[in-house]
Amino acid sequence: MLERIDGPRDLDALTTEELKRLAAEIREFLISEVSKTGGHLGPNLGVVELTIALHRVFDSPRDPIVWDTGHQSYVHKLLTGRKDFSELRRRGGLAGYPQRAESEHDIVESSHASSSLSWADGISRAFARRAQSDPEQQDRHVVAVVGDGALTGGMTWEALNNITDDNDRNLVIVVNDNGRSYAPTIGGMARFLNSVRVTGGYRDLQEGSERLFGALGAPGRVIYRAARGAVRGLVSRASDNQDLYSNLDIKYVGPVDGHDLEAVEEALRQAKGYGRPALVHVITEKGRGYAPAENDLADQFHAIGQIDPDTGAAVNGGTGPSFTSVFGERLVELARDDERLVGITAAMLAPTGLDRFAEEFPDRVYDVGIAEQHAATTAAGLAYGGLHPVVALYATFVNRAFDQLLMDVALHRAGVTFALDRAGVTGPDGASHNGVWDLAALQVVPGIRIAAPRDEATLRELLGEAVQIDDGPTVVRYPKGAVGEPISASRRTDDGTDVLRDPAPGDSAEGAEVDVLFVGVGPMNRISLEAAALLEEHGITSTVIDPRWVVPVAASVVEFARGHRLLVSIEDGIRVGGVGTRIRQALRDAGVDTAVSELGVPDEFLEHASRAELLAEAGLTADRIAADVIEQVRGTKIPVARPR
């Protein structure tokens, strides 16, 4: 059946049985293909029937479908003609999220949760206004598909407040309720949705229908459909009585079994026909139809690497402990000796490594849902109350809490530590998930201190130092993946800068300037050392230092620069306004005229590719850096293999 689908309108002529066969084939396809490349498997297995129904009821792209978040859009890609998943999330292949360059059916690329309703609000308002003078714009609908986890984000409620203030437009909100984000959804909203999900009528509808169908065979289909329609009406009316959406003046349809194609399609058509904003509550199962995902209570295969499709076991073993696991272990150790330490997560307990902390100290962890702004400000409150909060986020998501970090944490000199996982270039998840903005954005915060560990030992060390600082915000940022081999220091300055490499004896006359000072940020110190070794082969002397705390600039960094002809800073954040810029300013303020070469990521959105490919494209490889330094120091060009 899947081979027959090249676009949404190919679904129109299919019978119910053919649609069910199509759904089964899509699940087989996803398990087979995503297991080879890695990606978001569980969320997409849960929205197969929902996506089919959406594309049968609505006319995409004339009726835009906005996915919140876009990791659940794989089925949407298949139904809109994109069936080559062989290079999913790799350079040149399909993106793991919606991408406008791929298809006119993809609307929103940002893939940060809780924004879809605001997008849909704006689009539907534009359509309504244009329809007043343009008949072509009439009868266009906008659909926002939002997970129940995203409803924990405050932006969804800001949008709902505005959506329900103006009812004269065609807007359908689909709440894909599987009770989870990464892990089970928490908070009052989760409890409300759970009360609807397990209400007696809905449970009886499921169990009773299955019993009837199983006992009566083919004739049971008629009874099943009749009973389903009648009971669904009772459930819908019952839920209306307890439904908070009714207080927002928005039409409510549901709850609907999200794996019953006919029921979902019927509910969507009903919502479409209202001619005003409506909400369809669809109940789905993450990982549906794949036993390893269904049985994985941690995250139901939310995001996977390469796996054996038969067993769900990882194919490629790990390469040692990850920065995430080291952070989790170290925080537990610190918390055993310091009862002030508490953890905060924004719906990502396990992905950030706080799950180990929660196991040992369950009453000292606060999962605030997908609400980074709230996380930062509640952390300020916890600090005021005498605790030291550690807010664990992905680096890309701290952008959402900038104002709160600035005005609620820093202005009030609150002792809060932000542990930023996936900092720097992450790669396959694409533009919105690279953590390349934190250094440039956060270093403008007065009084902030930012640490960048290079390996396991420095992560453990710097986290311990960070949680002892109680007069302002601290940040410990570290990349995705394994910590790698340790990078030892030959010595440490009084203010904490590690010297990783001194010029070789005899490389320069005593008291003479050394050619190059490399200042690496976190894991980029490996590249600094590799580049220094290449320069030595060409007779160029160099020193490699790791400040550890990269903001503010240590006095020792300025003093090292005095004795060098060129300072090269290397970071995997954006170059504009990054650490290199901060060092240049510090040198200028101190009257040091050493030339500075600031290396980093360009200020542009990076397409999905591997981390190595993106770093090479940015010129952040040892051979490329060495070649550029040789040209600067000696005016001589040497050939370097450039990335394609």
Q: Quick one: pLDDT band at residue 75, thresholds 50, 70, 90?
A: very high
Q: What is the pLDDT of residue 248?
A: 64
Could you tell me if 556 and 588 lie in one domain? yes
Q: What is the pLDDT of residue 512?
A: 60
Among residues 286, 449, 454, 526, the one annotated as catalytic is 286
Instruction: Clarify whether 480 is annotated catalytic.
Output: no
Among residues 372, 571, 598, 613, the one annotated as catalytic is 372
Could you tell me if 521 and 586 lie in one domain? yes
Domain that holds residue 519: 491-634
Q: What is the pLDDT of residue 188?
A: 58
The answer as to whether 14 is a domain residue is no
Could you tell me if 389 and 454 lie in one domain? yes
Sheet containing 514-520: order of strands: 491-492, 498-501, 542-546, 514-520, 564-574, 595-601
The answer as to whether 402 is a domain residue is yes
Could you tell me if 245 and 270 lie in one domain? yes
Closest CA to 305 of 420, 429, 395, 183: 429
Could you tell me the two tokens for 150? 């995203």
Cβ atoms < 10 Å from Cβ of 313: 9
Could you tell me the two tokens for 552? 């503010």
Looking at per-residue pLDDT, the higher value among 322 and 151 belongs to 322
Q: Which residues are annotated as a binding site for Mg(2+)?
A: 148, 178
Q: What is the arithmetic mean of pLDDT over 92-106? A: 88
**Ordered alpha helix ranges (H), 132-199:** 154-163, 188-197
The answer as to whether 514 is a domain residue is yes
Could you tell me the two tokens for 72? 């659940």
The answer as to whether 301 is a domain residue is no
Q: What is the arithmetic mean of pLDDT over 309-326? A: 79
The answer as to whether 121 is a domain residue is yes
The answer as to whether 373 is a domain residue is yes
Instruction: Clarify whether 372 is annotated catalytic.
Output: yes
Q: What is the arithmetic mean of pLDDT over 149-158? A: 80
In tens, the pLDDT along 599-608 reads: 999 988 888 8
Select from 477, 502, 527 the last residue of a domain: 477
Q: What is the reported pTM?
A: 0.82
In tens, the pLDDT along 205-226 reads: 455 445 544 555 555 444 444 4
Angle between the N-to-C axes of helices 525-537 and 622-634, in degrees from 0 to 180, rounded to the nearest 10: 50
Instruction: Clarify whether 400 is annotated catalytic.
Output: yes
pLDDT above 50 for 295: yes
The answer as to whether 375 is a domain residue is yes
Closest CA to 562 of 580, 536, 534, 583: 583
Coil, strand, or helix at residue 375? helix
Q: Which residues are annotated as a binding site?
A: 71, 111-113, 148-150, 178, 290, 372
In tens, the pLDDT along 10-34 reads: 999 999 999 999 999 999 999 888 8
Q: What is the arithmetic mean of pLDDT over 478-505? A: 93
Among residues 400, 422, 480, 526, the one annotated as catalytic is 400
Closest CA to 452 of 403, 490, 419: 419
Task: Look up the CATH number of the domain holding residue 410.
Answer: 3.40.50.970
